Amino acid sequence: MRHKSFITLIIIIALISSLYSIAAPIDAKADNDKREPSAEQIYRDGIQRSHGDHITVLKGQQVKDLFLFGGSADIAGTVKNDVVTINTDVTLRSTATVNEKVVMLGGRLTQEDGAKIKEGIYRIDSGKDAINSMFMGFAAFAGLEMAKLMALIVLVLSAVIINMLLAEHIQKVIDFIAPQKNAVIGIGIGTAIVWAALSAAFILARWGIPLVALLSSIAAILSFIGFIILSTAIGSKINDRMNWPNASWSTALTGSLVICIVAAIPIVGMLIIAVTLVLSLGISVSYIFHLINNRKRTLKA
């Protein structure tokens, strides 16, 4: 009965959030129309442009940074920080000042006498725009994969260390969720829907961004806690079948490694990550409700 009430509450919150999401764009559009930035504001806050734009910084104007992909830039004013370009032709007039670096991947640089670059010019140029773009794509891909690998290593080590410190408490949670797997899955799905609906609604409202950050932080913490418990439960079953040591660190290591390895598989990995997040949220939220109900019974007694 308690789980049915929770699911009903989730549906109501999701419907309200959806209605708000439909209505909010009208207000957001009105706010954007009222607060259209002036040219001076754009220059003062910095410039970011995508492929093919031509950027001009006039004499006497200042920008924080220039990030350009393709197109061209004509700079006669001051750039407070860096100029970073990919396949962009840059012209620095005699009155131009760059307070930090000019970093260029491809493109041409024309620097008139009198132009000042305080921290130097860094250029990589293969001579062909296509190869420069491929190099940038490969570097971005390699950096992303390295970041993913480091995140997985931290996740596995965290699961092992926390399991060694809190083995008894984690086992209590596993014993609690084992008989009610369907309820845990339902609560996990419901929690994910509520989080997504509220986040979408708050994103559309200018004042809601901090709330989205707060909701995301809470969801991340709950998911991390649930992941540790889930990885321990999976690792325990695998170790039993393989007749491996069933120490707390061993089960956490086995389970977290299995989840992370499967999650790294293309396409299938995305599904595994989604399922893991739902189960992790379900485990954490279910146990929180269990603790709250126990507290209420204790107070009544």
Residue 93 lies in a domain: yes
pLDDT recorded at residue 121: 87
Give the CA angle between residues 123, 111, 69 to the nearest 5°.
50
Number of domains in the chain: 2
pLDDT tier for residue 127 given thresholds of 50, 70 and 90: low
* Residue at a domain's end among 125, 160, 185: 125
Chain length of the chain: 301
pLDDT recorded at residue 212: 87
* Residue at a domain's end among 93, 125, 157: 125
Does residue 33 carry a pLDDT above 70? no
Residue 194 lies in a domain: yes
Please report the sign of the dihedral spanned by the C-alpha atoms of residue 53, residue 56, residue 62, residue 66. Answer: positive
Residue 255 lies in a domain: yes
149 and 289 inside one domain: yes
222 and 201 inside one domain: yes
Identify which of 250, 249, 227, 226 has the alpha carbon closest to the alpha carbon of residue 238: 250
197 and 268 inside one domain: yes
Separation of alpha carbons 162 and 89, rounded Å? 53
pLDDT recorded at residue 40: 41
Identify which of 14, 287, 50 has the alpha carbon closest to the alpha carbon of residue 173: 287
Identify which of 222, 235, 236, 242 has the alpha carbon closest to the alpha carbon of residue 287: 222
Identify which of 101, 107, 99 has the alpha carbon closest to the alpha carbon of residue 68: 107
pLDDT recorded at residue 222: 93
The pTM for the full model equals: 0.62
pLDDT tens for 165-208 read 999 999 999 999 989 889 999 999 999 999 998 888 888 877 77
Percent of the chain clearing pLDDT 90 (strictly above)? 32
pLDDT recorded at residue 128: 67
Listed in order, strand segments (DSSP E) in 121-239 are: 121-124
Identify which of 123, 130, 142 has the alpha carbon closest to the alpha carbon of residue 70: 130
**Integer angstrom CA distances of residue 174 from 20, 170, 257:** 38, 6, 19
* Structural domain containing residue 173: 138-300
254 and 180 inside one domain: yes
Does residue 18 carry a pLDDT above 80? no
207 and 283 inside one domain: yes
Residue 218 lies in a domain: yes
Residue 130 lies in a domain: no
115 and 149 inside one domain: no
pLDDT recorded at residue 245: 81
Q: Looking at per-residue confidence, does 80 or 140 come out higher?
A: 80
**Integer angstrom CA distances of residue 88 from 8, 128, 151, 274, 276:** 55, 12, 34, 39, 43
pLDDT tier for residue 41 given thresholds of 50, 70 and 90: very low
Does residue 284 carry a pLDDT above 90? yes
151 and 107 inside one domain: no
pLDDT recorded at residue 189: 94
162 and 224 inside one domain: yes
* Residue at a domain's end among 125, 155, 175: 125
pLDDT recorded at residue 275: 93
51 and 168 inside one domain: no
Residue 28 lies in a domain: no
175 and 295 inside one domain: yes
pLDDT tens for 74-117 read 899 999 888 888 888 899 999 999 999 898 887 888 889 988 99
pLDDT tens for 233-267 read 999 999 999 888 888 889 999 999 999 989 888 78
- What mean pLDDT, rounded, does the chain reach? 80
91 and 150 inside one domain: no
Residue 35 lies in a domain: no
Does residue 230 carry a pLDDT above 90? yes
Residue 185 lies in a domain: yes
144 and 121 inside one domain: no
